[in-house]
Chain A
């Protein structure tokens, strides 16, 4: 070995740098430089990655929960006094429209103000993680907002103005209904039809009918069916086995999202969680998966990237950590593979739902 070679190059560094990741998420919750401007309308999803990451790391004590809860509620689109915006309620991704800051109703009329399905989903999840009781969420309005977004083919738009429609938003809708314990916002049979039609000839699931099967959309579909309580009702044993086979073939070291594509840390969750829901994650190669995820860890600033020697970001940091959690990494909380929150947060949600049901009887 030449003198000037890095002597550590021979060794993969396989230690999980918990404290760095805590600080990474803390920093993402503060101020981001302008180069993150494309994330403006989805800032709430960044909050989700950071909070959920801290939750799995069992480090939520570093957060001012009350402040965060207030900020999230300021993003709720509430019904106006004249109900002119019914069907447009939910949560915004950020304050980008310039409405005056307020955490209470009634809603303020604005020609372009409406919720975004992914922000309603992440808003609710963040509130649950923060221990909030969702009492300030206008659940009826959220449900009406979700219902208004479902298309004839069973899929969902992201926003009432119109947008693309695909499996991502089916998943968001399923999570919202699941959390609010109310499926009035979804025509389940139609959604299931959309999922079935998105199954590909190669046994993976695409974003829509005819589209290439993909690890992300496969997760969205399977997780949605699980949340609906329809996974084994909708798919035969043979179909479940075939989907499981497609998924398990995604492991190359870590996982990739499509055949003949490079691996990417986040698929350790998307595909890993799907495999867990199908009962076959136990048959994957834990060591190679772990080694890959840790090879994308940024040892200096914390977080994880899609590939080694690349810049970390909150999304890959969160899913890298979830990927490790699925593998049983000791310092990490367990993650619910369909709802994508820690078991701790999931238990809080179950308590809330019990209380709601008791209140009705």
Chain B
């Protein structure tokens, strides 16, 4: 007899006491999935275990079979956690198990939630940063991975090496928006952005990355993001630097940044009000006409709004603009 041939649960002697429970969709099933015999067998026995809330090793073993067939079944995972605790199972072994499953199915919600539960029970995040780094090396933007990473770092205060990790990822791909987000996350939870030296450092970092890859929305979003509520003018000389970049490293994001900085200045009454409004509207026109034509209608709308809000005539269609 071949010891490796799969045996249905219904044919296993040590399961003969259990009555399998089929699914019941009534007379008119909708979106019925056509399961194979093997699939049906495993889950008929799963349903039987659930019904009596059996707490046993055989139940625990079955959950692994069920997970292999459908790792998205959140009830199987919940039941497995109940058993892990009821049977006092080896959680280190469970970590090995969940590590393997996540490697195979890194975009499944249930597996990441399960891992988080096991890490919490062990109260040990030691493997997490390396593990997540490994998943990110296969897909650097996996939202689940980043979410788990932020949770681990915050929960266990593992901030120390994270900025370094982020910089490494940005070295590999300066357009990785998830990495830029993580940069903001780390700094806001550690040094914060209020310190002038930090803010300067971050502004310089952005400009450096922009020079390397000008057409990068992530870098510009970060630059705008750290300055927009502190006032763009809080960085003296920045507008001039950006105007220089406009000649050699132009992009729709650069131009939009200028529009936003001009608007920021316009909010506080200034002497060269009219000139700034004019410049801002010209930029909107440039964006609409050629630099960001997919958003043509939007930039025309922005131009009209600017005139409406800051124009002295109050007529949004004034001046030779859109």
Contact of B222 with A201 in the complex, beta carbons under 8 Å: yes
The count of residues in chain A whose C-beta lies closer than 8 Å to any C-beta of chain B is 72
A74-B72 Cα distance, complex, nearest whole Å: 22
Verify if A5 is at the interface (C-beta below 8 Å from B).
no
Verify if B32 is at the interface (C-beta below 8 Å from A).
yes
Contact of B33 with A32 in the complex, beta carbons under 8 Å: yes
Residues of B close to A80: CB separation below 8 A: none
A251-B294 Cα distance, complex, nearest whole Å: 8
Contact of B146 with A211 in the complex, beta carbons under 8 Å: yes
Contact of B47 with A97 in the complex, beta carbons under 8 Å: yes
Residues of B close to A210: CB separation below 8 A: 150, 154, 185, 188-189
Residues of A close to B32: CB separation below 8 A: 30-32
Q: Give the A-B pair count, Cβ closer than 8 A.
A: 190
Picked from A37, A47, A259, the residue with its CB within 8 Å of the CB of B217 is A259
Verify if B75 is at the interface (C-beta below 8 Å from A).
yes
Contact of A162 with B78 in the complex, beta carbons under 8 Å: yes
Chain A residue, CB-CB nearest to B184: A201
Verify if A12 is at the interface (C-beta below 8 Å from B).
no
Verify if A11 is at the interface (C-beta below 8 Å from B).
no
Verify if B226 is at the interface (C-beta below 8 Å from A).
yes
Stretch at the interface among B203-211, B268-276, B295-303: B295-303
Chain B residue, CB-CB nearest to A32: B33
Given A37-B70, A260-B216, A288-B294, residue A31 in contact with residue B50 (CB < 8 A): no
Residues of B close to A253: CB separation below 8 A: 294
Contact of A201 with B226 in the complex, beta carbons under 8 Å: yes
Contact of B298 with A43 in the complex, beta carbons under 8 Å: no
Known: A41-B72, A201-B222. 18 other contacts (CB 8 A): A37-B35, A41-B74, A70-B26, A71-B25, A96-B23, A96-B43, A97-B47, A98-B24, A164-B109, A200-B184, A206-B181, A210-B154, A212-B143, A212-B177, A212-B181, A252-B294, A258-B177, A284-B298
Chain A positions near chain B (C-beta within 8 angstroms)? 28-34, 36-43, 46-47, 50, 64, 67-68, 70-71, 74, 94-101, 103, 110-112, 116, 158-159, 161-164, 200-203, 206-208, 210-214, 242, 245, 248-249, 251-253, 258-261, 280, 282-285, 288
Chain B positions near chain A (C-beta within 8 angstroms)? 21-36, 39, 43-44, 47-48, 50-51, 53, 69-75, 78-79, 109, 112-113, 141, 143, 146-147, 150, 154, 175-178, 181, 184-185, 188-189, 216-218, 221-222, 224-226, 228, 256, 294-298, 300-301
Provide a sorted-by-A list of 8 A–B residue pairs whose CB atoms are within 8 angstroms.
A34-B35, A164-B112, A201-B188, A201-B225, A212-B178, A213-B181, A258-B177, A260-B175
